[in-house]
Amino acid sequence: MKYEACIGLETHVMQKTQTKMFCGCKHEYGAKPNTNVCPVCLGYPGALPVMNARAIELCCKAGLLLGCGINPRSKWDRKNYFYPDMAKNYQITQADEPLCLGGQLTTEVAGETKTFTIERIHQEENAAKNTHISGASLVDYNRAGTALMEIVSNPCMHSSSDALAYMTALKQIMEYGGISDCDLEKGHMRSDVNVSVRPVGQKELGAKVEIKNMNSFGFIVEAIEYEIDRQIGVIENGGTIDQETRGYDTDRGETFSQRTKEDAHDYRYFPEPDLLPVEISAEQIEQWRSELPELPAQRRARYVSELGLPEYDAGVLTAEKAVSEFFDETCQKTKQYKLVSNYLMGKVASLVTEKEISIADSELTAETLAQVAELVAGGTISSSAANELIEVLFTEGGDPKAIVEEKGMAQVSDDSALEIWADEAIAGNPKAVEAYKAGNAASINALMGCVMKASRGKANPPAVIALLKKKLGA
């Protein structure tokens, strides 16, 4: 029998706010444990939560970016459970009246455009951070109560590639929208994944298994693939799938049952008496909509239609918001769009990887990169010199023109200067010369390489070619 997997994601995104969801404690990564805490986020009796207006705005903007409807009125609920990471013994969340309803995300999966539907986005508060030590656990409440949105997709994905494309696009949109930094290492984006399988053609969903709290896209993909295979295996062997929560063991590459004796959770949701509902007017929604930034898809289209970049470049440049903003800023200062794109995708990208420094943290600026592009376009420096120059600008910064002068990077196009190198090359490579004269046009490249080497990359390639051809009597 053929089976079809149905996958839904519940993605928690930490919003970029200065303070927590319901109190004025700072939202700060890496602070000394239990320093950004107060009676509200520590769950002291009698403390009263007050909503963070910015968090509400960011949640609604995330909704607008994903085509959700904004609920004119939404409310808060308590989700009750005992766990040390939630000192109140309940989490404030939104059960039946979330801020955002419906929505969709369109992206490409292996060249095919797909639209995934979103059920809802609700606002809630984050739990504290646990660290496990031998025989005990430690709790740091700095993260407790920080603003956390949950974006719930419908079970509309059918493969790990769908899920990966969805998460990648979602991350991009959240970053572009300024909703979240989406730093996976810092746990800004974590997903619970629901997986079920059913025979192809069956309408009802199979029993769903939830794999909890994963922050690595790679592990999510692996867990989904393992779980689909496992479920099909169980069914084919005459078994049934239990609706349960499973964890993913990254070392073994398998999911494992996390069922405890008490089994089903009973969170006893009830309306949060300490918080009043949120009402959002149509005017407010329109105001927020007008403030939304350009999304990756729109930006890609603009790069192609207005700047004349290939689709490939547009895709690479917009993959990260910081890169495309740097590109946009550089293009304010030069019209050499394709050159700037080449450097960002090539030399700059490799420097970022090699030195583990982001563009923003490097010494390179939009202004200096624009000047590099102009120097190349104007014939002052060669492409290889440009790469060298970019490396200097990236690590040390400085004035591009001054560096070119100081390091003697300017390219030599003058025949009289090139002549010595050309003559040397011809004298030193009789075979290549012969081959060229015998009609093998490509062998001129060997001579060209010698000239470039002798000139330490400063010779202007077209000028060298022209000179060599002249000398060889072509």
Partner 1 sequence: MAEATHIDVSYVAHLARIHLTEEETALFQGQLNQVLEYVEQLKELDVTGVEPTAHAMSLVNVLRADEPAPGLDHDTVVDNFPAVRDGQVVVPKIIDQS
Task: Give the interface with partner 1 as residue ranges (CB under 8 A).
Answer: 17-19, 23-26, 32-39, 41-42, 50-56, 73, 75, 80, 82-85, 97, 127, 130-133, 135-141, 212-213, 245, 247, 258, 260, 262, 266, 268, 271, 273, 275-279
Residue recorded with tokens 């295996």: 233
Q: Are 345 and 315 in contact (CB under 8 A)?
A: no
User: By C-beta, is 90 or 303 nearer to partner 1?
Assistant: 90
Beta-ladder partners of 248: 255
Q: Which of 87, 85, 75 has the alpha carbon at shortest distance from 269?
A: 75
The least distance separating partner 1 from the CB of residue 344, rounded to whole angstroms, comes to: 33
Residue recorded with tokens 């030069």: 334
Q: Supply the DSSP symbol for 49.
A: -
Angle between helices 53-65 and 160-176 (to 10 degrees): 130
How far apart are the C-alpha atoms of 153 and 67, rounded to whole Å? Answer: 13
The least distance separating partner 1 from the CB of residue 273, rounded to whole angstroms, comes to: 7
How far apart are the C-alpha atoms of 231 and 243, rounded to whole Å? Answer: 11
The least distance separating partner 1 from the CB of residue 63, rounded to whole angstroms, comes to: 17
User: By C-beta, is 16 or 347 nearer to partner 1?
Assistant: 16
Q: Is 98 exposed, middle or buried (0-12, 13-18, 19+ CB in 10 A)?
A: buried
User: By C-beta, is 277 or 379 nearer to partner 1?
Assistant: 277
Could you tell me where the DSSP H helices lie in 194-336?
Answer: 217-236, 282-290, 296-305, 311-318, 321-331
Q: Which of 12, 50, 31 has the alpha carbon at shortest distance from 274?
A: 50
User: By C-beta, is 212 or 469 nearer to partner 1?
Assistant: 212
The HSE-up count of residue 446 (CA atoms within 13 Å, CB side) is 15
The least distance separating partner 1 from the CB of residue 232, rounded to whole angstroms, comes to: 26
- Token representation of residue 257: 């049952």
Residue recorded with tokens 């393992």: 226
Q: Which of 298, 350, 286, 360 has the alpha carbon at shortest distance from 327?
A: 360
Q: Which helix (H) or strand (E) holds 443?
A: none
How far apart are the C-alpha atoms of 62 and 58, rounded to whole Å? Answer: 6
The least distance separating partner 1 from the CB of residue 312, rounded to whole angstroms, comes to: 39
The least distance separating partner 1 from the CB of residue 53, rounded to whole angstroms, comes to: 4
User: By C-beta, is 82 or 185 nearer to partner 1?
Assistant: 82
User: By C-beta, is 90 or 337 nearer to partner 1?
Assistant: 90
Could you tell me where the DSSP H helices lie in 358-460?
Answer: 366-377, 383-395, 400-406, 415-428, 430-437, 444-454
User: By C-beta, is 110 or 136 nearer to partner 1?
Assistant: 136
Q: How many CB atoms lie within 10 A of CB 260?
A: 8
User: By C-beta, is 26 or 333 nearer to partner 1?
Assistant: 26
How far apart are the C-alpha atoms of 302 and 304, rounded to whole Å? Answer: 5
How far apart are the C-alpha atoms of 391 and 372, rounded to whole Å? Answer: 11
User: By C-beta, is 55 or 450 nearer to partner 1?
Assistant: 55
Q: Supply the DSSP symbol for 200.
A: T
The least distance separating partner 1 from the CB of residue 52, rounded to whole angstroms, comes to: 5
The least distance separating partner 1 from the CB of residue 13, rounded to whole angstroms, comes to: 16
User: By C-beta, is 256 or 312 nearer to partner 1?
Assistant: 256
The least distance separating partner 1 from the CB of residue 453, rounded to whole angstroms, comes to: 58
How far apart are the C-alpha atoms of 77 and 271, rounded to whole Å? Answer: 4
The least distance separating partner 1 from the CB of residue 348, rounded to whole angstroms, comes to: 34
The least distance separating partner 1 from the CB of residue 295, rounded to whole angstroms, comes to: 24
The least distance separating partner 1 from the CB of residue 351, rounded to whole angstroms, comes to: 35
How far apart are the C-alpha atoms of 13 and 189, rounded to whole Å? Answer: 5
Beta pairing class for 209-214 and 90-93: unpaired
User: By C-beta, is 34 or 168 nearer to partner 1?
Assistant: 34
User: By C-beta, is 18 or 298 nearer to partner 1?
Assistant: 18
